[in-house]
Amino acid sequence: MRQAEQNRKTKETDIALKLNLDGRGNAALDCPVGFFVHMLDTFARHGLFDLELRAYGDLEVDQHHLVEDTGIVLGQCFAQALGDRRGIRRVGSCLYPMDETLARACVDISGRGFLLFDGRLSGIPLVMEGQSGQVNFQVDVIEDFWEGFVSTSGITLHLEVLRGRSDHHKIEALFKAASRALREACEIDTRIIDIIPSTKGVLA
């Protein structure tokens, strides 16, 4: 079973995450940032990854630490669950349309963490209604999340919004495209089930 569990506790955040690459898209998410929870739920469902997350952080400072560190821990889980990468397809891509928005994700499980991010985000926080009134989501932390993810997963990831108007739609389309591209790249190819898909013989 390609599963993983990682924990990260610092003076800024306390995060525990479980991942099953071969799941059904189930997500149990305990995190105080509602929009981020929505994105992680979307990620699980479209990638068919099972996720269990408990994440808390110093939101009195800002959302950066919690979102970035969650990306770091998710990347660690992917690296652990993939093991030596034997038998995987390795690469995947997805063009995802969401109303007026079109997003593209390209993945190579190369062992070399790299992010190209062109989200065309406005930088203006999203405003939502929370239990205690209006809550803002800092859209700039989305790039930090993916940077954290690639830094620990060893995955090359290109994320681009080709067109769009709504930052909500742009971010959500990116998460959906990324999860579907990752799902394709992580899938086992039965023709090479005992082979590491690299001329080097390793993907580390």
The residue written with tokens 């926080």 in the block is 125
Find all residues with CB under 8 Å of 194, minimum gap 6, and list them.
86, 87
- Whether 33 and 21 have beta carbons less than 8 Å apart is answered as no
The residue written with tokens 């495209």 in the block is 177
Provide the 3-class DSSP secondary structure of residue 103: strand
pLDDT surpasses 80 at 135: no
Structure tokens at 173: 């389309």
Burial label for 43, CB within 10 Å (0-12, 13-18, 19+), is: buried
Residue 125 banded pLDDT, cuts 50, 70, 90: very high
Domain annotation for the chain: domains and CATH numbers:
3-192 (3.30.230.40)
Structure tokens at 75: 């990347």
Burial label for 17, CB within 10 Å (0-12, 13-18, 19+), is: buried
Q: What is the mean pLDDT of the chain?
A: 95
Q: Give residue 202's pLDDT.
A: 87
What pTM was computed for the model? 0.95
Residue 91's φ and ψ, nearest 5 degrees, are: -115, 155
- Whether 181 and 156 have beta carbons less than 8 Å apart is answered as no
Q: Give residue 138's pLDDT.
A: 94
Q: Name, of 4-8, 136-140, 198-202, the range with top average pLDDT.
A: 4-8
